[in-house]
Structure 1
Amino acid sequence: MTYCPMGDVWSQYGKAGMDIGHLYCEIDHILFEAFGMKLERPYCIAKGDKICKFNLKML
């Protein structure tokens, strides 16, 4: 993904906002696991990367 609306919201609060946003993004791992998938995200906008990359594997 190259755009994240939540990233826009978090960025309005500076570094502290992005740190909280990155924690918020961690819930994605739990959500995908509930659907039988493992998420690896090497790039995350809330972590300061230009993109979010989602690598999914079936459990």
Structure 2
Amino acid sequence: MKKKLVIELIVYIVIVVIGIIMLFMYEPEEVDIVLPKDFQIEQKGGVNDAFVPIE
């Protein structure tokens, strides 16, 4: 192998190893979600949907 290809291969290996280490070390922060008391979840196609045919 040429010297340039070996150096490039080593750089790519280092980048992959750092990426794998960061993947396992990452811990996301907990986020509290505050919903209003009158918040309601409706199914898709509920009462408020309207369908207007295109003529």
When Rg is computed on C-alpha atoms for both structures, the one with the higher figure is 2
Q: TM-score, normalised by structure 1?
A: 0.32
Q: TM-score, normalised by structure 2?
A: 0.33
If each structure's helix is expressed as a fraction of its own residues, which one has the higher value? 1
Higher RCO, 1 vs 2 (CA within 8 Å, ≥6 residues apart): 1
